[in-house]
Amino acid sequence: MKNKKILLTGGAGFIGSQLCTELSEDNEILIYDSFKRNAIKNTALAGKKNVTLVKGDILDFLFLKKVVDKFKPDIIIHLAAIAGIDTVIKEPVNTMKVNMIGTFNILEAVKEYSNSIERFIDFSTSEVFGVYAYKVNESSTTNLAPVGEARWTYSVSKLAAEHLTNSYYKEYGLKTVTVRPFNIYGPGQVGEGAIHEFVARAIKNETIKVHGDGDQIRSWCYIDDFIDGIKLCLQNDKAIGNSFNIGNPKGTITIGMLAQLVKQVANSKSQIIYVPKNYEDVELRVPSIEKAVKLLGFSPKYDLMKGLNKTIEWYRRMKDD
């Protein structure tokens, strides 16, 4: 993909910055972000002539619209969201506003360009499948979850955004694709991800904290594999109007075993302790990626050991710098 104008909302985050690094080789990039989380500092993006950084709130429709009209993007990748369990529990109202109204704002801002926009990628979440999600596929029942538990404001708001995005495809012909990331990790991660937390502590020989009994099951997908999945969504017309689980079922492990594995791979002296959790948790999350495999040719290449080795190497390098 070359010579495209690509606008990324929330592009300064972990996934966004890695995606921009890849796409900025041959395209013009505009990152629209509040910069509350900034992974761009770990990249060379800020110094590139073909990369523009715009500080803006996804809830500020008038400013967002002005930026869209001036840039006239060929492709929109919508990553802007409130995420991370601690943040979501503290800010349930803002979570729903940013994830729902923010998605509406960017869809409205580009609606008049529906015929010329080549792709609108909406980032959802694997959490739409609820507490127990084993080999769930894109047509599996999504879970609205009980009202009153702040954690579910995230999944419900993301699910609403999915419906909204698909509605713009059906009603206005906007070429939309929804992706549901399943536990992405790797170099450059910021925020509250378990691997990020475990690795950061392991390389300093600090205590690694596992919340609950450590029996929660996750499937971990290395960032390079995930970005390959996004590129396939951008390049393959079969993706339009569809949603895709993007993850790696072969990277499945309990959280307790993950802590042990990180400690082993990092050759760390960290102590692993188990602490109570004060929030509702997802106990089981393993995707089926058959749709992405068959329709897009998606094929994850990194097993968990290979991905952890590369991740730990990067964190050590950053620590030494």
Q: Is 185 a catalytic residue?
A: no
Residue with tokens 């803006």: 56
For β-strands 252-254 and 217-219, DSSP reports them as antiparallel
Evaluated on CA atoms 24, 30, 32, 38, the torsion sign reads positive
- CA distances (Å), 268 to each of 49, 92, 207, 265, in order? 41, 36, 10, 8
d(CA 266, CA 199): 8
d(CA 208, CA 288): 30
- Three-class secondary structure of residue 211 per DSSP: strand
Of 154, 169, 185, 302, catalytic: 154
Q: In what order do the strands lie in the sheet with 243-246?
A: 51-55, 28-33, 5-9, 75-78, 119-123, 176-181, 243-246
Q: Is 4 exposed, middle or buried (0-12, 13-18, 19+ CB in 10 A)?
A: middle
d(CA 19, CA 30): 12
For β-strands 28-33 and 5-9, DSSP reports them as parallel
Task: Return the active site residues.
Answer: 154
